Structure 1
Amino acid sequence: MNEKVTIAIEKREIGKSSSGKKLRAIGYIPGAVNRKGLESVSIKIKKDELLKNILQYGRNYLFTLDLEGQESYPAMIKEMQHSAIKREVLNVVFQQVSFTEPIKFDLNIKIVGKEALELRELNFVQQMDKIHVTGLPQDIPDFLEIDVTDLNMNDKICISDVKFPKGIETEIEADTIVLVINELRLAEVITEDELDDTITEAVQEEENL
């Protein structure tokens, strides 16, 4: 997170003309910047600008928000709301942060080496898909990587096995299980004819009752 990335934001006046639906129709996303000990700032941000930066740098990146050249906030995305069906961004909330104060964050887990497991007819079952961590904003990575390439049947990964970047810590107990390795169970494939036969047999049995 060493590269400084600035995103332009604009003030959003609360009222009918600033409703989320109207803003989204003209290419903006409504949102807010939460500030510790201060009132949040209502903002709007260009949808293309937001999505472009998330795609390039990730949701956990420490951005600099430029409010019309008047103020700037070092901030991270705290929350994004999406529509249920199309998964379009409806709202975004940023959290202003300090470079000197640790923050708490839920980091996604990225699994690598799945193909190696499948070749040996093994699979993994995740007990956790996020890990709650603490660290300075500029040290927070986009995700925590776990490599399962060389794991065997009944092996497990605990919190103590996870490699955390320098400066990143977690309060989760060291023996908490993150994932376990088990046998790969392939779903049984049923052809259309077999499905018809099964339905016919079920109907016949019901008629004979």
Structure 2
Amino acid sequence: MNEKVTIAIEKREMASGKAGKKLRKIGYIPGAINRKGQDSVSVKIKTDELMKNISKYGRNYLFTLDLGGNESYAAMIKEMQHSPIKGEVLNVVFQEVSVTEPIKLNLNIKIVGKEALDLKKLHPVQQMDKIHVTGLPQDIPDFIEIDVTDLNLNDKICVGDVKFPKGIESEIEADKIVLVINETKLDDSSAEDESDDKTTEAVSEEN
């Protein structure tokens, strides 16, 4: 089970766009906590504290949101809105969850070992960018890792071959292809350059 990580939050009374802009100027991110069958709670979180914890634990981590020591919520980040120009976080939405009830999430796939494939002039071609998984909130990882170090041409990884962390399962069919290994081909421009080089060498020899 993941260690308990607490993030301090504060109640937010005004939920207008102008109020959110003012909060961001003084170092806060406006947010909300969605609760099943109940009204959502408008909150604000210190920007540096939120970003520090996301950087360390990832977006899929189960955080404890502490509201001034009076209330607390076990919650995960459901959505973050970013500015299209500056990329700054405009707001964050948490989802309250139960530590005893499994949840479903689409997790990103992280491929490791590409350097070994490069030496063989091979590369992985993904058929899936995400894998739909089920597990308790505290067991959900930030991504699913797939190691391609020892793979060769035409090898493939199916869902059934993926090593999921303890407590994590996928309902996707086991024979569903996640990625295949293809040969790395030179692009047309590289091929033309190589052809030009050979032609130049031939002319030089004749001279």
Same fold (TM over 0.5): yes
Runs of 4+ in 1 over 6 A off after TM superposition: none
Match of 1:70 in 2: 70
Once the two structures are TM-superposed, the CA of residue 166 in structure 1 deviates from its matched residue by: 2.0
Deviates more, 1:95-104 or 1:162-171: 162-171
Deviates more, 1:111-120 or 1:101-110: 101-110
TM-score when normalising by structure 2: 0.87
- Distance in 2, Cα, partners of 1:44 & 1:15: 10
Match of 2:47 in 1: 47
- Consecutive unaligned residues of structure 1, counting only runs of 5 or more, are 192-209
Once the two structures are TM-superposed, the CA of residue 16 in structure 1 deviates from its matched residue by: 4.7
Residue type at the aligned position of 1:135: G
Match of 2:114 in 1: 114
- Distance in 1, Cα, partners of 2:110 & 2:63: 22
- Distance in 2, Cα, partners of 1:39 & 1:92: 16
TM-score when normalising by structure 1: 0.86
Once the two structures are TM-superposed, the CA of residue 186 in structure 1 deviates from its matched residue by: 3.9
Match of 1:200 in 2: none
Confirm whether residue 27 of structure 1 aligns to residue 60 of structure 2. Answer: no
Count of aligned positions: 192
Match of 1:201 in 2: none
CA contact 2:15–2:42 (8 Å) conserved in 1: no
- 5 Å matches for 1:1-209? 1-16=1-16, 19-187=19-187, 188=189
- Consecutive unaligned residues of structure 2, counting only runs of 5 or more, are 194-207
- Distance in 1, Cα, partners of 2:185 & 2:71: 56
- Distance in 2, Cα, partners of 1:184 & 1:43: 50
Residue type at the aligned position of 1:91: N
Instruction: Give the secondary-structure state (helix, strand or coil) at the position aligned to 1:42.
Output: strand
Residue type at the aligned position of 2:92: V
Deviations 1:17-57 (A, max 9, x none): 96221111111111101111111101110110000000111
Instruction: Give the secondary-structure state (helix, strand or coil) at the position aligned to 1:19.
Output: helix
- Distance in 2, Cα, partners of 1:169 & 1:46: 34
- Distance in 1, Cα, partners of 2:185 & 2:26: 49
Once the two structures are TM-superposed, the CA of residue 135 in structure 1 deviates from its matched residue by: 0.7
CA contact 2:139–2:167 (8 Å) conserved in 1: yes
CA contact 1:155–1:180 (8 Å) conserved in 2: yes
